[in-house]
Chain A
Amino acid sequence: MSIQIHNLSKSYSLNNEKLMILKNLNAEIQTGEIVAVVGSSGSGKSTLLSLLSGLDPADSGEININGKNILHLSPKEMISFRAQNIGIIFQQFHLVSHLTAFENVALPLDILNRPYTPEDILNALDLVGLKPRSAHKPSELSGGESQRLAIARALITKPQLLLADEPSGNLDSETGKKVMDLFFQQVRRQKTTTVLVTHDMNLAEQCDRKLILQKGQFLI
């Protein structure tokens, strides 16, 4: 899945003052490419992820995914498009607390009404090393395990685009490294187009390409 971003702008109003977050942003990401978006706090990284995932409307510009401008999709179409094509990983995992690891991974398939067997879920958990913890709830998992579970959940639908927001940001460096190794291994195996937002330059170096965001624009 390829992504083309043309003159993308986004602003927010705060106390009657307009804050320009992204200004005429342009970029192109090829199918299967893993791109790191780096930048300081407030540079607009999270806003970019919101726009790419269709959770927030842009002021102007285009986001073409596989040639389709997602900014023109209706909310209903966007929900369906996102569920079918996009996986998201959060810094704070956002797992459903009352569901087990197994149920958390099965959740996106349930929502999409896609058929699956228990083996499909257990295999996905196995890929992130959590098969023995399938019956455990998020509160019984460590931070590293929780993020691995979030990765398994994001990849279970085999999305063509994966958006990851500081996936190791909440983890210690050793755990973070292990999780990210697994992350890269999985996305490369599935050839998933990936946008990884991070502060960590070492992590960014492991990606195919890095885009540096500063004051709402990519540095060339």
Chain B
Amino acid sequence: MIDHCLRILRFSYQELKSQFQIQTFLIFNLAFGIFGFLVLQIFQNSLILQTQLKAQETLTADFSISTRRILNQTEIQKIESDFTFLQKSETKSFFAMAANGTKTRLVRVIAIDSKYPLYGTYKFKNNAGFSNQQKIWIDRDLFLPLALSENSKIKLGQVDFEIADTVVTDPTLVFRPGGFAPVVYISLDQLDKTQLIQSGSTISHQFFYKTQTPESATAAQKKLSFDIKDTTIKFETATQDAQGSNQILKYFTDYLGLVSLVALGLCFLCGGYLLRWMFIDQKKNIAIYKTLGLQNSDVVQIQIVKNTLISFFAFMIAALTAIAVLPLLQNLILKYNLPIQLDFSPQNFWLTMVISLFVPQMISFPLMIEMVQLSPRELFQSQIIQTRKNNIFWVWLLVSLFSFWAVTVFQSQSFKTGSVFTFGLIILYFVFKILLFFVLKMLNTLLMRFSWMNRYALLGLIRKRQATDLVFITMSLAILVLCLLPHIKSSIIEEIKPTSTSEIPKLFLFDIQPDQQQNLQTITQNQIQQNLIFTPLVRSRILKLNNENYERFESTGNFSTREQDDEARFRNRGVNLTYKSKLSASEKVISGTWNENKFVQNSENQIMPEISLEEKYAKRIGAKMNDVMTFDIQGLQIEGIVTSIRQIRWTSFQPNFFIVFQAGVLEDAPQVFLSSVANIKPNDIDTYQSAVVKNNPNISIVNLQQTVDSALVFIDQMSFALQTMAYLSMVVGLFVFIVLLNTQARDRLTEMNLLQILGLPNRKVIQVVQRQFLFLVSLALMSGLILSLFSAWLIAQVIFNIGVTFDFISMLRICVVLLPISYLGIYFGLRPLNQLTPNDLIRNQ
């Protein structure tokens, strides 16, 4: 047994040694892909680990109860009787306008009691702490927009507050980047004085509990979720809250992971090519080994050992590189204010190693079949016998595709995203293949019009399809990924960026009480000479859709995929309704009819009120025309029938609603109003806001420009990371390209020697191959660029439902960088041709 193992090891070593340079290429090629994957794993796992570790600090408790309404003492005492706890704290949070003289700014007010926080440490500029119950504590981001100094006072509602201290680090916000309203903490005792909370105000009422152990918090969450079937009350443990709190970062890292899979996929594609190249090179040796008595099982074992050694070296290079660059990445992460301590955990190590060791074995499976089928009789034949693709090959292909799909679902934590990504790549593969087929076919018909050298160069591409396909698809795909991101980014920015000439509102006003409409209209007319249009908002819950219960109760609170998790959150969230007679300019009916008439109770013509749904919303909740929906509006049940489906241009930023009731139904329901201001000069915003807040302190105003600016900073940070990962794909693409050039050059040494013997100078021999690959790279670049435009358009239209704005400057930049690099790649990749020795044709018979 030991002898056998040693023999297999010796053979493996000899084969690795005999193809040292190509094996080195293979190792580095795999190392590139594994590196990207590993870094992503480290980032993802660190994020999960940190959120778990900081879960109590993020929630400030072991367990919380939260509602979108004020819970009274009787209700909370009834709930609390169901579980035990050590300590309790309470907060109420909502949006409001903070003012300093004429300067105003939307803030999130969190009213806290004296026990807050039960866990976690807030860092303050002057170490004041939440001690002085008469003052407020503010986010440092508030200083600039409100022009504050240390001694300034901030007006919240009816009260002028002194600033107790500035919050430097807020443990509840560490995993919530991109928030658009700075936080202001006030004492719960002071809340009533402000008079900010009125009927219909958007408010979150939370109770926090410290329990004996984290397990007792989980038990309480389960028990309460089971006992209290009220979807307006949310029970969450610290862990569950932590999972929800880093949702944006998780989405981001999931997408980042998919881009890293492109790099990994390209690496394995190239790995597959190199393994095949080596197999063809070694085919004769394998036949000789077999003639000399080597068993099929031995041949396969040798290949497995070789693969294992190569993968292991590649993994080690990737792991060591990752460890080396980790401090650099750590700095980068801290620069973006993410308190994630990157940690190369054993889990990262083992998972990546298993994938690194497993995938090359899987890639070489068809080769192993060919090795077994390889007959030593080939040694007696001058022609190479081509093995046909049998059923096992197709099964292997299916298994490989399924595995890739499974990895993408795992990486994106989403069946939908994983499937779209996998099938998108497969479709792109065929699109590129078909495109190349037609280009080469066209060139074939025009071949005689080219000079001999160009003709010969093109013939090399047309007739050597396997290598041509691989270079073309790899390069095109990498270029597409690289160019796609800037297009998507610019499209999103263009959509959300308000322009001074557009009809997009500059300010949103919400939580307007019915009796404030008149006053607000007067202020608006006086200040900016405009009329406001008020849109009613009625809070409700959907109880039933066609007599089926709509809301979903969680028994454990844990869902296997993001879709299921999102679905439960989505259904239990509650909905905002409105009513109106006329459609706005930003919406159109695409199915059914819009009823402008008022609903008349007990009318013979109409049994129940009509409702109109937004197209995508209807699809998501599974509602269609003539479906009956039952709503709970402040305890009153109201039914409506779907009679129209609308398409809304959301990027108009007009106050639009998913569900619109026919007029004449909800007018008497408890409601607040929304409004927006479109034409206001930037200089007038402060004065206008100040006037509104002074007279109506409970009304919140969102300045769209400020919101967009914070979103842009976030988009910039995220796109930078995605772009970096896309560059890794490109580097891999270039590496694949150089490897292919090199193997092609080696494959063609005899051919090139022959050309030289037939009279072609060495310079021209190299030029033939250079022209061939220059053409191929240019074609791949063009195809990648064009398809990136098309893909960006498709994604913008279909996924984001926005207009596309192409980023031609980035495209140009990518071309300017890539072309010389590719040409350098061609120069270096074809170096073996510099040492052409035509004499070999005679000497090495």
Seen from chain A, the residues whose Cβ lies within 8 Å of a Cβ on chain B are 46-47, 49-50, 53, 55-56, 76, 79-80, 82-84, 88, 90-92, 94, 96-99, 103, 107-108, 110-113, 139, 143, 146, 165-166, 169-170
Q: Is the CB of B756 within 8 A of A79?
A: yes
Chain B residues with CB under 8 Å of A88's CB are 757, 841-842
Q: Which residue of A lies closest to B759 (CB)?
A: A83
C-alpha gap A108/B755 in the complex (Å):
8
Flag whether B387 is at the interface (Cβ < 8 A). no
Q: Which 10 A-B pairs have the closest CB atoms?
A: A83-B759, A98-B463, A110-B452, A55-B839, A108-B758, A111-B759, A111-B760, A91-B845, A143-B382, A50-B839
B339 partner residues in chain A, CB cutoff 8 A: none
- Does the CB pair B759–A79 fall under 8 Å? yes
- Find out whether the CB atom of A55 lies under 8 angstroms from the CB atom of B755: no
Question: In the complex, which of the residues A76, A80, A90 contacts B841, with contact meaning CB atoms closer than 8 Å?
Answer: A90
Among the listed B460, B750, B842, which residue makes an inter-chain contact with A49, where contact means beta carbons less than 8 Å apart? B842
- B761 located at the interface, meaning its Cβ lies under 8 Å from any Cβ of chain A in the complex: yes
B459-A98 in contact (CB<8A) = yes
Q: Which residues of A contact B839 (CB under 8 A)?
A: 50, 55-56
**Interface residue from A50, A96, A110, A111 paired with B843 (Cβ < 8 Å):** A50
Identify the closest chain B residue to A49 (Cβ): B842
Whether A99 contacts B757 by the Cβ 8 Å rule is no
Contact with A along B182-208 (1 / 0, CB 8 A): 000000000000000000000000000
What's the Cα separation between A4 and B460 when bound, in Å? 40
The reply to whether A96 and B751 contact each other, CB–CB distance below 8 Å, is yes
A165 touching B759, Cβ below 8 Å: no
Contact with A along B747-791 (1 / 0, CB 8 A): 000110011111111000000000000000000000000000000
How many A-B pairs have beta carbons closer than 8 Å: the answer is: 71
**Choice from A96, A166, A170 contacting B382 with Cβ under 8 Å:** A170
CB of B464 within 8 Å of the partner chain:
yes
Q: How far is the CA of A82 from the CA of B760 in the complex (A)?
A: 10
- A79 and B842: CB pair below 8 A? no
Q: List 22 A-B contacts (CB under 8 A).
A: A46-B843, A46-B845, A50-B843, A53-B757, A55-B839, A79-B759, A82-B757, A83-B758, A90-B842, A91-B845, A94-B754, A94-B841, A97-B751, A98-B464, A99-B459, A107-B758, A108-B758, A111-B755, A111-B758, A112-B759, A113-B452, A165-B845
On whether the beta carbons of B384 and A139 are closer than 8 Å, the reply is yes
- B383 in contact (CB, < 8 A): yes
Are the CB atoms of B843 and A76 closer together than 8 Å?
Answer: no
Partner of B759, one of A55, A84, A139: A84
Chain A residues, CB < 8 A from B754: 94, 96
Residues on the B chain within 8 Å of A82, using CB: 757, 759
How distant is A71 from chain B, measured CB to nearest CB, in Å?
Answer: 15
Tell which of B452, B463, B842 touches A55, judged by Cβ atoms closer than 8 Å. Answer: B842
B residues with a Cβ closer than 8 A to A are: 382-384, 452, 455-456, 459-460, 463-464, 750-751, 754-761, 838-839, 841-843, 845
In the assembled complex, the Cα of A102 lies from the Cα of B460 at a distance in Å of: 16
Q: Which of B456, B755, B759, B838 has the most CB of A within 10 A?
A: B759
Cβ contact within 8 Å between B842 and A76:
no
Which of A46, A110, A139 is close to B383, meaning CB atoms less than 8 Å apart? A139
Q: Which of A47, A50, A98 has the most CB of B within 10 A?
A: A98
Task: Write the nearest CB–CB distance from B776 to chain A, whole angstroms.
Answer: 15
B755 proximity list for chain A (CB < 8 A): 107, 111
Closest to B843 in A: A46
- Write the nearest CB–CB distance from B466 to chain A, whole angstroms: 11
The residue that B750 contacts in the complex, of A94, A103, A169, with Cβ under 8 A, is: A94
B842/A50 in contact, CB under 8 A: yes
Which residue in chain B gives the minimum CB-CB distance to A85?
B759
On whether the beta carbons of A53 and B751 are closer than 8 Å, the reply is: no
CA distance in complex: A83, B243 (Å): 75
In Å, the complex CA distance between A215 and B597 comes to 114
Residue in chain B with minimal CB distance to A138: B383
Which A residues touch B758, using CB under 8 A? 83, 107-108, 111
Instruction: Provide the residues of chain A in CB contact with B845, threshold 8 Å.
Output: 46, 90-92, 165-166, 169
Q: Which residue on chain A has the smallest CB distance to residue B455? A: A110
Cα–Cα, bound, A122→B464 (Å): 25
Contact between A110 and B841, CB atoms less than 8 A apart = no
Chain A residues in 8 Å Cβ range of B384? 139
Q: Which of B382, B463, B464, B760 has the most CB of A within 10 A?
A: B382
A114 CB, nearest partner CB in chain B, Å: 10
A143 to B755, CA, bound (A): 21
Could you tell me if A55 and B456 are in contact, using CB atoms closer than 8 angstroms? Answer: no
Closest residue of A by beta carbon distance from B384 = A139
Q: By the criterion CB–CB under 8 Å, are B463 and A46 in contact?
A: no
Are the C-beta atoms of B464 and A55 separated by less than 8 Å?
A: no
**A49: which B residues are within 8 A, CB to CB?**
842
With a cutoff of 8 Å between Cβ atoms, the chain A residues found around residue B751 in the complex are: 96-97
CB distance from A126 to the nearest CB of B (A): 22
The residue on A at minimum CB distance from B383 is A139
Give the complex CA separation of A169 and B382 in angstroms: 13
Q: Please, which residues of chain A bring their CB within 8 A of the CB of B841?
A: 88, 90, 94
| Separation of A84 and B759 alpha carbons in the complex (Å) | 8
A23 to B460, CA, bound (A): 43
**In the complex, what's the smallest C-beta–C-beta distance from B315 to chain A, in angstroms?**
37
Give A196 to B282 CA distance when docked, in angstroms. Answer: 33
CA distance A53 to B840 in the complex (A): 13
* With A110-B452, A139-B384, A170-B382: A55-B760 Cβ-Cβ less than 8 Å: no
Residues of A contacting B464 with CB < 8 Å? 98
Contacts of B383 in A (CB 8 A): 139
Q: A88-B757, A170-B382 are in contact. Are A99 and B843 (CB under 8 A)?
A: no
Contact A79 B750 (CB under 8 A): no
Q: How far in angstroms is the closest Cβ of chain A from B842? A: 5
The distance from the CB of B749 to the nearest CB of chain A, in whole angstroms, is 11
B contact residues around A56 at 8 Å (CB):
839
Cα–Cα distance between A82 and B754 once the two chains are bound (Å): 12
Q: Please indicate the chain B residues that have their CB under 8 angstroms from the CB of A112 in the complex.
A: 759
Give Cα A47 to B838, complex, Å: 13
Q: How far is the CA of A110 from the CA of B754 in the complex (A)?
A: 14
**Which residues from chain B contact A94 at a C-beta distance below 8 Å?**
750, 754, 841
The docked-state distance in angstroms from the alpha carbon of A76 to that of B759 is 9
Give chain A residues whose Cβ lies under 8 Å from the Cβ of B761: 76, 79
B377 to nearest A CB, angstroms? 16
Q: Which of A90, A92, A103, A166 contacts B459 (CB 8 A)?
A: A103
In the bound complex, residues from chain B placing their C-beta under 8 Å from that of A55 are 757, 838-839, 842
A46 & B842 in contact (Cβ 8 Å cutoff): yes
Please, how many angstroms separate the alpha-carbon atoms of A103 and B756 in the complex?
17
Residues of A within 8 A of B843 (CB): 46-47, 50
* Beyond A94-B750, A146-B382, 7 extra complex contacts between A and B, CB < 8 Å: A49-B842, A55-B838, A84-B759, A98-B463, A107-B758, A108-B758, A139-B384
Residues of B within 8 A of A90 (CB): 841-842, 845
Residue of A whose beta carbon sits closest to that of B453: A110
B762 to chain A, nearest CB (A): 8
Whole-angstrom CA separation of A21 from B750 in the bound complex: 25
Which B residues are in CB contact (< 8 Å) with A166?
845
Tell me the minimal C-beta distance from A202 to chain B in angstroms.
20
Q: What separation, in Å, do the CA atoms of A166 and B843 have in the docked complex?
A: 12
B residues in contact with A80, CB < 8 Å: 759
Once bound together, how far apart are the Cα atoms of A47 and B455, in whole Å?
Answer: 34
A80 to B757 Cα, complex, angstroms: 10
In the bound assembly, the distance between CA atoms of A166 and B841 in angstroms comes to 13
**Residue from A84, A99, A170 whose CB has the most chain B CB atoms within 10 Å:** A99
* Residue in A80, A82, A146 whose Cβ sees the most chain B Cβ within 10 Å: A82
Closest A residue to B839 by beta carbon equals A55
Cα A170 to Cα B382 with chains together (Å):
9
Interchain CB contact under 8 A, B842 and A111: no
CA distance A142 to B747 in the complex (A): 22
List the A residue with the shortest CB-CB distance to B461.
Answer: A98
> CA A79 – CA B761 in complex, angstroms?
7
* Alpha-carbon separation in the docked complex, A128 to B388 (Å): 33
Cβ contacts under 8 Å, A113 to chain B: 452
CA distance A103 to B455 in the complex (A): 11
Residue from A55, A76, A84, A99 having most chain B Cβ neighbours under 10 A: A55
